[in-house]
Structure 1
Amino acid sequence: MQLRERLEEELRGLGRRDRQRVVPEIAGRDGRHIVIGRERLLNLSSNDYLGLGDDLELRREYLEGCMETLPPMGSSSSRLLTGSHPLYLELERELSGLYRRDAALVFNSGYHANTGILPALAGRRDLVLSDRLNHASIIDGMRIADARWERYRHSDCDHLEELLERGRGRYRQIFIVSESVFSMDGDLADLRRLVELKKRYDAVLILDEAHGTGVFGRQGLGLAEREGLMGDVDIIVGTFGKALASAGAYAVMDGVVRDWLVNTMRTFIFTTALPPVTLGWSLLTLRRQAGMQAERTALLELASTLRRELGEAGFETAGESHIVPVMAGEDSRAMAMAARARSAGFLALPVRPPTVPEGRSRLRVSLRSILRREDIAGLPACLGEVRR
């Protein structure tokens, strides 16, 4: 069978199973709403958790400043050649200061961070232990690395300890990798237990705060800040692409680890640096969100209210964060729930395997601090119209 014929047949198979994905034709974003084609929908699928991406005044402030400084629109080189603009150093100094750590390093994306850090640090004499529900980018990083890797049952620290005990003395180094806020279930890692285990077994703990940054902690630095454990996590990974409404990612760590990554991390070395105009925007949103504690509180209260109302309407939900999954089970029901929500003016997208386990398809409701309770009040009743 020729490539084209094979791919056409496999795409038809995805369609029959309600798993074929298409890129939406987005016409624009308008505050709480998004325009797709001719539809104006309440946006419940954005990771712009603090609404910074739709803050017109903040954007105007930045663009007016750009007219004076004229930062380059592109870098035209990797950082190890001529692409490391002074804004990189300013942004990394800001990050290391906020996290009270020796050093920080900025990357082109969270995917670059997670597919580059583990291969640079973990070799064939090492073991990586990863939460089973960690993001695909972490899984890909483990696959690229030379190290042996295993996944422990989701948030099951007893299982993790079994694997740590089994690996004690057999490996040069053991790495524990977890998200802080799990992106599809909205639940939180037991960070205190993870820190306790990493200390007891002399492991290295890497925490991905992609969905915790901006939402948890007094300065929006994530779950580790909220728990008072920033100094106990060896490497904290964060992103600018979600609550900080920009592009790129970062990690904070010891200075020697930074030096090693600069010398060995392929996704850092072999890529063109971020545009300086993007770095300046990241610096502005990072500083702005640090003072948005009222917005963080309102966001989590809104999520708690929605989770309770969905439960009262008979839906299974999960988590304890601003991400509220509405469990559907089968792919077809998740698609039907999304279609009903859309007909009522809500954009809440379905999530299906392989993003989630078989039989655990769901609607993923991603809340933002700029949403009001009355905006989402009709969602539980609307979804209840889908036949179970």
Structure 2
Amino acid sequence: MKEDYGEVLANLAKTGRLRELNPLTNRAGCWVKRDGRTLLNLSSNDYLGLAGNKDFHARFYNGLKGADLLDRYGLGSASSRLLSGDCEPLHELENALKVAYGFPSALFYNSGYHANIGILPALFDKRDIIISDKLNHASIHDGMRLSLAAHKRYRHLDYDHLESILVQNRPKYERAVIVSESVFSMDGDVADLQELVRLKERYNCLLYIDEAHALGVSGPKGLGEAEAQLVLEKIDILVGPFGKACASIGSFVLCTDEIRSFLVNHCRSMIFTTALPPIIASWNLFVFKSILEMADKRQHLKSLIENLRHELVANGLHTYGSTNIVPVVIGGNQLAVDAAGMMQDEGFLVLPVRPPTVPEGTARFRLSLTADMSWSDLAPLASKIARCLNSLATG
């Protein structure tokens, strides 16, 4: 007999996997309040520190004019884009994106989740195969499940395994697409895009790259790892969400004119949803143009990353990756929950990441560094984590 909902929830609580909502208040840069305590926010995806930057927001709102209030700053679209919900700022945003990246076309989506669950089923059917990195985020896996295409997963960053899948399966299908994140959200490691390009060219595949955690952070202009690894022109389908370093909501896909037109006519997650309001498109355009000029923030963030990773290793903590997403692997679920509570008592908003988000036995802190932090904020962090874990181990 199937467990009822209460039994499932009780089992989650027993195994340290129960999740609850807990609001934050008084956001000010990288600082927030939770349960009345002011904490350094190490659990945000606000990588450039824009979501908490009041001056940056004020610059945007200073452009507000009454004459185009609804066209550019309206708070509701009241329709899908294919009916009456389209607006000029969305087209201006798409044009700015395709010009900056050097792609023929761009298409806006309401979120990165909408993009991945819509693009894969729209473009690939039972004649095709999707081959995905095992640690790609949930929206990619859900998009594969919704597609009629066959799908296989290769071991994380194991390109020999990927090639073996291609050798065995590529001749059986009309189209094949390799799908990977560029920066992986839980491990903070980076895909070898040049190797993926080599494989896609050797086996006549398409290459689909999701830059969710690299947009704004990687590359000279912040365009992502495809820019940093000098392969932009080799990517067939590039997805970039606005919900992280860009401090907003929405996403885009860069592609050919033909693929864009096909998506407009076949992608259910774009066709059958109310468009985001004009103010979101205007904000996204403002942010995107701004991040192209934020090399100083990217450099500051890089120095924070190097310093913190050095300190974590010096304190005997288990970490890996190379980006501003810095995992500290703890192991047990309840241990991670208890340690996170102790770190909040120390003034750091650190949250436990547990299965099924990460594999069993690898519960962790996912430390997310942002460009509005200073080294003085972070300097005591590694030693405090080590002390908390030692205290729990000996207590």
Fold shared, TM-score > 0.5 on shorter chain: yes
**Cα offsets for 1:315-339 (capped at 9, x unmatched):** 1101110100000011122112211
Per the alignment, residue 370 of structure 1 pairs with 372
Per the alignment, residue 197 of structure 2 pairs with 195
- Residue 64 of structure 2 aligns to a residue whose secondary structure is helix
**Cα offsets for 1:21-55 (capped at 9, x unmatched):** 00112223111201112111001111110011122
Per the alignment, residue 126 of structure 2 pairs with 124
Shift of 1:376: 1.0
Per the alignment, residue 36 of structure 2 pairs with 38
Contact 1:130 1:178 in 2 (8 A): yes
Per the alignment, residue 237 of structure 1 pairs with 239
Contact 2:28 2:53 in 1 (8 A): no
RMSD over equivalenced CA pairs, Å:
1.2
Tell me, in whole angstroms, the C-alpha distance in 2 between the residues paired with 1:60 and 1:237: 29
Per the alignment, residue 349 of structure 2 pairs with 347
- Residue 328 of structure 2 aligns to a residue whose secondary structure is strand
Shift of 1:236: 0.7
- Residue 139 of structure 1 aligns to a residue whose secondary structure is helix
Per the alignment, residue 268 of structure 1 pairs with 270
Per the alignment, residue 182 of structure 2 pairs with 180
Tell me, in whole angstroms, the C-alpha distance in 2 between the residues paired with 1:123 and 1:190: 27
**Cα offsets for 1:87-113 (capped at 9, x unmatched):** 010000000000001000000000000
Q: How many residues are matched? A: 386
Letter in 1 for 2:330: A
**Cα offsets for 1:333-363 (capped at 9, x unmatched):** 2112211211100001111000001111100
Tell me, in whole angstroms, the C-alpha distance in 2 between the residues paired with 1:168 and 1:273: 37
Contact 2:179 2:209 in 1 (8 A): yes
Tell me, in whole angstroms, the C-alpha distance in 1 between the residues paired with 2:178 and 2:219: 22
Please point out which of 254, 261, 268 is paired with 1:252: 254
Tell me, in whole angstroms, the C-alpha distance in 1 between the residues paired with 2:23 and 2:158: 40
Letter in 1 for 2:176: I
**Cα offsets for 1:257-307 (capped at 9, x unmatched):** 101110100000000001101110110000111000111111122112111
Contact 1:115 1:140 in 2 (8 A): yes
Tell me, in whole angstroms, the C-alpha distance in 2 between the residues paired with 1:285 and 1:17: 41
1:29 paired to 2:27: yes
Q: How does 1:293-308 map to 2 (within 5 A)?
A: 293-308=295-310
User: Which residues of structure 1 form unaligned runs of 5+?
Assistant: none
Shift of 1:65: 1.6
Per the alignment, residue 314 of structure 1 pairs with 316
Tell me, in whole angstroms, the C-alpha distance in 2 between the residues paired with 1:276 and 1:317: 42
Tell me, in whole angstroms, the C-alpha distance in 2 between the residues paired with 1:152 and 1:303: 29
- Residue 356 of structure 2 aligns to a residue whose secondary structure is coil
Per the alignment, residue 64 of structure 1 pairs with 62
Per the alignment, residue 111 of structure 1 pairs with 113
Contact 1:340 1:382 in 2 (8 A): no
Tell me, in whole angstroms, the C-alpha distance in 2 between the residues paired with 1:234 and 1:49: 26
Tell me, in whole angstroms, the C-alpha distance in 2 between the residues paired with 1:32 and 1:141: 33
- After superposing the two structures, state which structure 1 stretch, 185-194 or 53-62, moved more: 53-62
Contact 1:99 1:230 in 2 (8 A): yes
| TM-score normalised over the length of structure 2 | 0.96
User: How high is the sequence identity, in percent, across the aligned residues?
Assistant: 46
Tell me, in whole angstroms, the C-alpha distance in 1 between the residues paired with 2:237 and 2:334: 40
**Cα offsets for 1:204-238 (capped at 9, x unmatched):** 10000000000001111000001111110101100
Please point out which of 381, 386, 391 is paired with 1:384: 386
Contact 1:350 1:361 in 2 (8 A): yes
Please point out which of 34, 45, 48 is paired with 2:46: 48
- Residue 65 of structure 1 aligns to a residue whose secondary structure is coil
**Cα offsets for 1:186-208 (capped at 9, x unmatched):** 00001110000000000010000
Per the alignment, residue 335 of structure 1 pairs with 337
- After superposing the two structures, state which structure 1 stretch, 13-22 or 301-310, moved more: 301-310
Tell me, in whole angstroms, the C-alpha distance in 1 between the residues paired with 2:358 and 2:97: 32
**Cα offsets for 1:152-191 (capped at 9, x unmatched):** 0000000000001111211001110000000000000011
Letter in 2 for 1:57: D
- Residue 95 of structure 1 aligns to a residue whose secondary structure is helix
Contact 2:94 2:105 in 1 (8 A): yes
Tell me, in whole angstroms, the C-alpha distance in 2 between the residues paired with 1:193 and 1:227: 10
Please point out which of 157, 160, 163 is paired with 1:161: 163
Letter in 2 for 1:325: P
Please point out which of 141, 148, 151 is paired with 2:150: 148
- Residue 52 of structure 1 aligns to a residue whose secondary structure is coil
Per the alignment, residue 10 of structure 1 pairs with 8
Tell me, in whole angstroms, the C-alpha distance in 1 between the residues paired with 2:49 and 2:382: 23
Letter in 2 for 1:139: H
- Residue 185 of structure 2 aligns to a residue whose secondary structure is coil
User: Which residues of structure 2 form unaligned runs of 5+?
Assistant: none
Per the alignment, residue 17 of structure 2 pairs with 19
Tell me, in whole angstroms, the C-alpha distance in 2 between the residues paired with 1:342 and 1:13: 25
